[in-house]
Structure 1
Amino acid sequence: MNIAICDDDLFFCDQIEQCVEDLFQKTCTSEVFTSGDELLAYIQRHASYFQIYLLDIEMRGTNGVDTAKKIRELDLDALIIFVTSHKEWVLEAFDVTAFHYVVKPLNKEKFSSILLSAEKFFMKQRKLFHFVVRKQLKTLPITQIEYLESTGRKIRVFTTDKECHEYYGTLKEAEEKLDLSTFARIHQSYLLNMNYIDVLEEKIVIMKNKNRLPISKRLRSSFLKQYRNYLRMMGNTSFKGGEGNAS
């Protein structure tokens, strides 16, 4: 998971970062922002990068509540945990569907319990895809992945926010991490998320982002069977053979 820590108290940020590191070790990364404006500028460029936000309510500039409202405009699924020295702020804060709140000074045991609950809740709601880029762990919600492409020894991950991430690996390794009721191999070089198929033709798939991906002759039969099963699961029984609009 990726966690954003937003607080203008640097000592408190250090405490939070240390707790995150002790609790999750290498399975979670955290970034510190000293103002709501700094955080919002970052997520405008990297939408849905963070799965959990720890927001101080009483910050200079854009406060934590207003920051959370703007986060909600970009991401309905992220978990927001408010940090405050005054409990009376909490009721207003929950207007943005906050997951929990933390009261200063930090109680490490209680905070760790809240973080573990957040991780458990998030993992239950949305599965995550992990990969390593330049020795740094990256995390993406699987629902944001449109397709993966193998190029040499690298995998390129194309997402719904029009970004492309590259890492060293194989599609076989990726398949083992993904839900094959949603993802299908259509070619030795392509693994796609069937949620984002727009048009299915005889030899190509046109994705909703208008990218055209080839279907190999060897994998066509198994892909069509997998796609039929996917449509049944989604309650669509109109697909008959493999051509035409699939949306």
Structure 2
Amino acid sequence: MKIAVVDDSIEDAQRIVSYLEQFQEENNQSFLIKVFYASFDFLEEYKGEYDVIFLDIEMPGSNGLDVAREIREKDQSVGIIFITSLAQYAVDGYEVRAIDFIVKPVGYYNFSMKLQKAFRFIETHREEDILISSKEGVFRIAASDILYIEKDRDYLVFYTRQKNYRTRGSMRDIKIKLDALPFSECTAGCLVNLNHVKRVGKDSVLLTSDRELSLSRRMKKSFTEDYIRFVGGM
């Protein structure tokens, strides 16, 4: 497991590292830990490779919330735990889907509880992550955040709740990758996440984002059956 600690305070950062090392010994775990003392250095290097990020909120330059917003542009699945001196900042963590927050000074027992919570978060999302490589870089997104995927010649366009991603790929390969998840084609070359379907009409599919997609005559029966089966399963 790869863990990043981002804190401009050397003392606070090293305390987190010592707790991680203690947790490793007590629980027979193995971590790869990297410490960043400046938010700029962290963002410049970030490529979506970490499982958990311990992120100080009050830092010079880009504060922890700004950093978290940039992270979420690239990575919707990484576990973020905020570290703060003021508990009032923690409320803002919901905006970037933080796992939790720890108030300084950090105690080991509280830290270990938060870390175990992060493990549960990672386990829940582990098999639902998709890596997308585009001209802008490599992004990791959660399959649950995908609204639909549309083929455009040699490319696939992933429409998510946050932004859209364009990458080379085939519809055949992405269908295989998402086979165990609730996705179904409404037209040839348009794969829809059934979690985000609000209504299946006569010749269209309405999503929760209020985007309306065409429903082809050839795909209508199979798509409708998939949706009914999915809703029934819920």
For this structure pair, what is the TM-score category when the shorter chain's length is used for normalisation? 0.5 to 0.7
Aligned partner of 1:142 in structure 2 is: 143
Structure 2 gaps of 5+ residues are 21-30, 35-46
Aligned partner of 1:40 in structure 2 is: 65
Asked if structure 2 preserves the Cα contact closer than 8 Å seen for 1:185 and 1:223, the reply is yes
Aligned partner of 1:132 in structure 2 is: 133
Supply the AA of the counterpart residue of 1:218: R
- Classify the secondary structure of the residue corresponding to 1:202: coil
Match of 1:87 among 86, 89, 107: 107
Supply the AA of the counterpart residue of 1:202: K
Residue by residue, what CA displacement relative to the aligned partner does 1:19-75 show, whole Å, maximum 9, x if unpaired? 258xxxx982488977546221244464773522254x4xxxx63755444213542
Taking every aligned residue pair, what percent have the same amino acid on both sides? Answer: 18
Q: How much is the aligned-residue C-alpha RMSD, in angstroms?
A: 4.0
Structure 1 gaps of 5+ residues are 101-113, 235-247
Change in 2 beyond 3 A, CA 1:178/1:172: same
Structure 1 position 196 matched with structure 2 position 196: yes
Residue by residue, what CA displacement relative to the aligned partner does 1:181-240 show, whole Å, maximum 9, x if unpaired? 511111222111111112211221111212121122332222122112112112xxxxxx
Separation in 1 of the partners of 2:195 and 2:9? 43
Supply the AA of the counterpart residue of 1:41: D
Asked if structure 2 preserves the Cα contact closer than 8 Å seen for 1:130 and 1:139, the reply is yes
Structure 1 position 99 matched with structure 2 position 121: no
Residue by residue, what CA displacement relative to the aligned partner does 1:104-130 show, whole Å, maximum 9, x if unpaired? xxxxxxxxxx7xx945x2343232222
Residue by residue, what CA displacement relative to the aligned partner does 1:154-200 show, whole Å, maximum 9, x if unpaired? 21111123x11121112222222225551111122211111111221
Aligned partner of 2:41 in structure 1 is: none
- Classify the secondary structure of the residue corresponding to 2:210: coil
Asked if structure 2 preserves the Cα contact closer than 8 Å seen for 1:36 and 1:67, the reply is no
Alignment of 1:146-157 (within 5 A): 146-157=147-158
Change in 2 beyond 3 A, CA 1:170/1:33: same
Aligned partner of 1:184 in structure 2 is: 184
Change in 2 beyond 3 A, CA 1:53/1:44: closer
Supply the AA of the counterpart residue of 1:72: Y
Change in 2 beyond 3 A, CA 1:53/1:4: farther
Q: How many residues align?
A: 199
Alignment of 1:1-247 (within 5 A): 5-9=5-9, 19-20=32-33, 28-29=49-50, 35-36=57-58, 38-44=63-69, 46=72, 49=76, 51-55=78-82, 57=83, 63=85, 65-75=87-97, 78-80=98-100, 86-87=106-107, 91=110, 99-100=114-115, 118-119=118-119, 121-126=120-125, 127-134=128-135, 136-161=137-162, 163-234=163-234
Bigger Cα displacement from structure 2, 135-144 vs 65-74: 65-74
Separation in 2 of the partners of 1:64 and 1:177? 43
Bigger Cα displacement from structure 2, 212-221 vs 134-143: 134-143
Change in 2 beyond 3 A, CA 1:188/1:212: same
Change in 2 beyond 3 A, CA 1:157/1:226: same
Tell me the TM-score normalised to structure 2 length.
0.65
Separation in 2 of the partners of 1:2 and 1:191? 32
Supply the AA of the counterpart residue of 1:167: T
Tell me the TM-score normalised to structure 1 length.
0.62
Separation in 1 of the partners of 2:207 and 2:9? 45
Aligned partner of 2:23 in structure 1 is: none
Separation in 2 of the partners of 1:36 and 1:218? 55
